[in-house]
Amino acid sequence: MHAPASILPLHIDGLSFEAGGALLLDNVSATLRPGLRTVILGPNGAGKSLLLRLCHGLLAPTGGALRWGAFCNGDEERVRRRQAMVFQRPVLLRRSALANITYALALRGVRPRARRVAEARAALERLGLAPLAERPARVLSGGEQQRLALARAWALSPDVLFLDEPTANLDPAASRAVEAAVEAIHAAGTKIVMTTHDLGQARRLADEILFLCGGRLLEQTPAATFFHAPRTPEAAAFLRGELVG
């Protein structure tokens, strides 16, 4: 069977998520197209991470649905294999940096072992981690761990990469390295969808902004427009640094 070139675009169709009687995500609809770096902004508790997790399939929505480009229902496993996610606090396995990547490649069915090792080394090389290949992943610094998580995600050559506050715990130098990596992954053709609470980072990276507030999607706006002329008063207040939501 010939696989389509990309699982994108992702149509988010009236997505809702309810937990413990609270509606945490309320009827969100949007289309995520390939090529654009999408940054999800919004105050704490707006549902940014939740939306990422739902899109990535880590949680099942309580309402609405996701439609991935040409894929119909029943292709969930194949769709998942063409996505990757980098978490705010990535979980690295208690083995070497290199083995963290070969493990992920093995799960994607990359064979034989020699090919996994070669691809993992190339992934480490791309993020300047080659000298750390044999080091235990858990003894790396926070910034190195996050870059390793990015290298692992990139090694999977996903169509779309979700990033949940990838620099939230990092110092400026490490954040810069992560942003450069995100740029490189974008340039290599992977769709970027990330959340951040750092407006400067959003300005530097975003092509389009999804603005969430109180579980509702208030804007899907090109980044240039959003930062100069937000359409909603909530977004304007958010950009002024006021507490909203």
Partner 1 sequence: MNDFDTALATAWRLIAAGDAALMDIVVLSLGVSLTAVLIASILGLPLGATIALARFRGRDAVVVAINALMGLPPVVAGLFVYLLLSRSGPLGAYGLLFTPTAMVVAQVVLVTPIIAALTRQIVDDLWREYRDELTSLGAGKLRAVPTLIWDARLSLVTVVLAGLGRAMAEVGAILVVGGNIAGVTRTMTTAIALETSKGDLALALGLGIVLLTLVLVINAVAHFAGVAARRAAG
Task: Determine if 93 is a binding residue for partner 1 (CB under 8 A).
Answer: yes
Q: How far is the CB of 193 from partner 1 (least distance, A)?
A: 13
Q: Binder to partner 1 among 45, 103, 169, 204 (CB under 8 A)?
A: 103
Applying CB under 8 A, what is the total number of residues that bind partner 1? 23
Check residue 137 for interaction with partner 1 (CB under 8 A): yes
104 binds partner 1 (CB under 8 A): yes
Q: How far is the CB of 42 from partner 1 (least distance, A)?
A: 21
Q: Which one, 137 or 206, has the nearer CB to partner 1?
A: 137
Residues 23 to 82: which contact partner 1 by CB under 8 A? 53, 56, 58, 80-81
Could you write out the three-class secondary structure of the chain? CCCCCCCCCEEEEEEEEEECCEEEEEEEEEEECCCCEEEEECCCCCCHHHHHHHHHCCCCCCEEEEEECCCCCCCHHHHHCCEEEECCCCCCCCCEHHHHHHHHHHHCCCCCHHHHHHHHHHHHHHCCCHHHCCCEHHHCCHHHHHHHHHHHHHHCCCCEEEEECCCCCCCHHHHHHHHHHHHHHHHCCCEEEEECCCHHHHHHHCCEEEEEECCEEEEEEEHHHHHHCCCCHHHHHHHCCCCCC
User: Residue 41 or 153: which CB sits closer to partner 1?
Assistant: 153
Q: Does 111 bind partner 1 (CB under 8 A)?
A: no
User: Which range, of 12-20, 27-35, 89-97, 175-183, touches partner 1 by CB under 8 A?
Assistant: 89-97
Rounded distance between C-alpha atoms, residue 177 and residue 97, angstroms: 17
**Closest CB to partner 1 among 148 and 235?**
148
182 binds partner 1 (CB under 8 A): no
Residue 19 sits in the site that holds partner 1 (CB under 8 A): no
Residues that bind partner 1 (CB under 8 A): 53, 56, 58, 80-81, 83-85, 87, 90-91, 93-95, 103-104, 107-108, 136-139, 152
